[in-house]
Structure 1
Amino acid sequence: MDASAMLDRLAAPETRANPFPLYEQVRELGSVLPVADTLVLVTGYAAADRVLRDRGFGVLDREVGAAMFGDEPQPRSWELFGRSILRNNPPVHTRLRGPIASVFTPRRIAALEPAIERAVGRLLTAMAESGREGVPVDFMDRFAFPLPVGVICELLGVPDEDRYRFRRPAHELTRVLEFMSVDEDMSSADLAAQELSGYFADLVTERRARPQEDLIGALVRLRDEDPEQAIGDAELIANLVLLLVAGFETTTNLLGNGLALLGEHPDVRAALADRTLPVADFVEEVLRYDSPIQLTSRIALRDGLSVDGVPVPRFGEVLVLIGAANRDPARYREPQRFDPWRAGNGSLSFGSGIHFCVGAMLARLEAAVAFSRLLDRFPAPTLAPGAIRHDRLLFRGYGELPVTVS
């Protein structure tokens, strides 16, 4: 099979369900693989890390997109992300990320731990009531979604009564980021972009009228105090939508993927339950072995760039297969084996370089508290039939994951 055929297979349903065999076939052809004159696949950890850190490679922002594709109107969902830190390069990225990082601080995140503990306790109690006498409980619906959405909404300042309305539109919006064929219908993503941006526009207006001590309030103050340097209104709304979506979509998948692995590895589950395995090490290995984010891409912003000797022309694309890099045998011993006791199991699941995920610390904290308290309450959760993976490649996780917790 040649490289172009492998690229076609990346979007196939069977690959979305289990991409790892295809990753290994790609790796056999090379850790850095030219597919076409303007496209390179990267499966090697070291090469992936270098690309993500190299300022010569950037994201497909509006300026780069206009140079590559002209001034054709873009879907609303793409335009929304195009105003966020996700789809901007310096100097715009630097200007946008600064205010967000200034309020998305380690101190603010650490202060959320008691609230996370309380939320986990409430959700586990509800799971115990629903799962009495061995009745299977959908872990995704009853725990993996409500925990991170509640936490990110607490941080942002979204009212309690609104917190569970976002699952559908957020899931639809992220379709625009997926690796899929160009002719797929994005109308549901555009409608989700309209719904979410409208919601946060109203919330920003409300914060200006009645300030509060939350992340939205802090960003609104920064915007109003220094309108020349801070985030503009449209940018503010776009980044609030991004923080909401990224704040629970990836963590939801991390929790589901982790529970599935606990069900498959009773020795790991027992070691976590008796505290002989640090929960942080387990979380890091889940991130490496079954990353919630499987790929990303970068565009060459100038001529003369290359990846491990493979030239990438200006506006050429590098598709970084994070899920493959996280299983690179040049970086990890026995990478196809789930081993939370392995030394140095850090991964690229939160990215690298200037686009490193601003919420990485929060996701790790939520997962550590969740799995510790879960196994305190239910030392032997058991997977039940009926697990369903999402039909996604970039965002890898479960739609349904039944479990018995008695």
Structure 2
Amino acid sequence: MDPADALALLMSPQGRVNPYPTYERLRAHGPVVQAGPVFYAVTGYAEVDEILRDPRFGVMDDELRDQFLPGWRESPAVASISRSMLRTNPPDHSRMRRLAAGAFTPRRIAAMRDVVVAQAAELVDAMLERGRDGEPVDFMADFAYPLPVGVICALLGVPAADRPQFRRWAADLTGVLEPEITPAELADADRGAAELRGYFTELVAARRRAPADDLTTALVQVHDSDGERLSGDELLSNLVILLVAGFETTTNLLGNGLVVLLGHPRAAATLGGHPEFAPGYVDELLRYDSPVQLTTRMSTAPASYGGLDLPAGSWLMLMLGAANRDPRRYPEPARFDPWRPQIHPLSFGAGPHYCLGAGLARLEAQVAFPLLLRRLSGLALAGEPERRVRLTLRGYATLPVTVGDAATGPRTDRGTPAGAAPATP
């Protein structure tokens, strides 16, 4: 299968639901393959990592959007994301990122552990109540979404009563992050963007009237004191992207990760009894089934990667999910192994656009998985999970599970006893 055919398969519903076989078809042609006159797909770990850090590559700016996406300014979804730090290059990207970065320092994130633990415990209690008679519960709706959305909303100062509505709006908006989008999907994305911008317009006004100790107030005050540092459009766009990025990736990490763990009962039993192993487990889950599968970059100057000369103006599709399974970097990449040495997944990117909330997402997952495995004695799939037909943001729409009775320790009937030492490869 040539690269163009492989990419066409990747864009199909079948390819999006399970992209990994198609990644290997692309990889067979090399770590960087040409699929069009100035279009390239990158599957190699080293190449993706280096390109993300290379100042000759950036995200699509307004001039390029005018060339490739005429009329983009008429789309609330495209225009909103384009005005955020997600889709801007230095110096604008650096300026906006610095304004929000203080809320995501390692020290601030470490201080949030108790809040995350408390919220996760409350959600587990609610799952036990709903599933106490053996009834399935939807892990995505009952845990994977409310945990990270609760955490990011607390940072932004969003009232708890408003949080349930964001899941649909965000799901619609993030359609514009896909490599291909239909007119109907774009219309949905525009509606989602309009709803989110409308909500934050009201929240901004409320924070002007009554400032609070939250990130929204801090950004509003920056804008009001100096519009050159943060324009009104940038204020709303970045609040939207902070909210959406603050839970979408983590929601998918929790859903993808739980399915992997339930498919590896010995590893799950070990983690349930040894929460101190969670950092390695979470990094391997990020590598094994990344919640973010791809990103794109445009070249501003000639460069050479993977034995190919890339002219200025080249468009590169960086396959993060494929890079995380590059056998040159990870032996036996299709095997889940939380004891791998030197696990450094590219799921949160690298370089200037490295995910601002990566540390927070890791914390939430490191708290959640041991807690779930320890407290839910009957945690098991209760039917076939339903994948979202998305490529960029890989996750489940629904994930039915049974939870059993409240437990004081992890299950030990399907593998390593809770107190046993973990096996190493």
Interval of TM-score (by shorter of Structure 1 and Structure 2): over 0.9
- Deviation digits for residues 48-104 of structure 1, max 9, x if unmatched? 001111111000121332355667644211000010011101111111111111333
Partner of 1:286: 285
Cα distance in 2 for partners of 1:194, 1:404 equals 37
Written as runs of structure 1 = structure 2, the 5 A alignment for 1:192-341 is 192-228=192-228, 230-275=229-274, 278-302=277-301, 304-341=302-339
Asked if structure 2 preserves the Cα contact closer than 8 Å seen for 1:49 and 1:348, the reply is yes
Equivalent residue number for residue 85 of structure 2: 85
Unaligned runs of 5+ in 2: 405-425
What is the Cα deviation at residue 311 of structure 1? 2.0
Deviates more, 1:329-338 or 1:112-121: 112-121
What TM-score, normalized by structure 1, do the two folds share?
A: 0.96
- Displacement, 1:181? 5.0
> Displacement of 1:44 after TM fit?
0.3
User: What root-mean-square deviation, in Å, do the aligned CA atoms of Structure 1 and Structure 2 show?
Assistant: 1.6
CA contact (8 A) 2:348 2:354 kept: yes
Structure 2 Cα separation of the partners of residues 74 and 298 of structure 1: 23
For 1:64, the equivalent position in structure 2 comes to 64
Return the offset for 1:163.
Answer: 1.1
Using the alignment, how far apart are the partners of 1:107 and 1:101 within structure 2? 12
Within 5 Å, give how 1:127-206 maps onto structure 2.
Answer: 127-181=127-181, 185-206=185-206
CA distance in 2, matches of 1:246, 1:276: 26
Mean Cα deviation higher: 9-18 or 288-297 = 9-18
Provide the secondary structure at the position in 1 that maps to 2:165: coil
CA apart distance, 1:110: 2.3
For residues 274-296 of structure 1, what are the alpha-carbon distances to aligned partners after superposition, in whole Å with 9 as ceiling and x for unaligned?
21870111110110000000011
Q: Secondary structure at the match of 2:164?
A: coil
Cα separation, 2, equivalents of 1:276 and 1:372: 5
- What is the one-letter code of the residue matched to 1:45? Y
Deviates more, 1:176-185 or 1:132-141: 176-185
User: Partner residue of 1:348?
Assistant: 346
The TM-score with structure 2 as length reference comes to 0.92
More moved, 38-47 vs 309-318: 309-318
User: Take 2:145 and 2:35, find their aligned partners in 1: how far apart are those partners?
Assistant: 37
Secondary structure of the structure 2 residue equivalent to 1:29: coil
| Inter-partner Cα distance in structure 2 for 1:331 and 1:204 | 46
Give the length in aligned residue pairs. Answer: 404
Distance 1:285 1:214 in 2: 33
Contact in 1 for aligned 2:104/2:360 (Cα 8 Å):
no
Deviation at 1:134, TM superposition (A): 2.1
Quote the residue 2:376 is aligned against.
378
Shift of 1:217: 1.0
Deviation of the 1:109 alpha carbon: 2.2
**Closer, same or farther: CA 294–4 of 1 in aligned 2, 3 Å:** same
Please report how far the alpha carbon of residue 306 of structure 1 lies from its aligned counterpart in structure 2 after TM superposition.
2.5
Q: Per the alignment, do residues 318 and 287 of structure 1 end up closer, same or farther by CA in structure 2, a change over 3 Å counting?
A: same
Compute the displacement of 1:9 (Å): 1.0
Identity level (%): 49
Which residue pairs with 1:19 in the alignment? 19
- Measured against aligned partners, the alpha-carbon deviations of 1:142-184 in whole angstroms (never above 9, x if no partner) come to 1101111111100110011111110101000000111225656
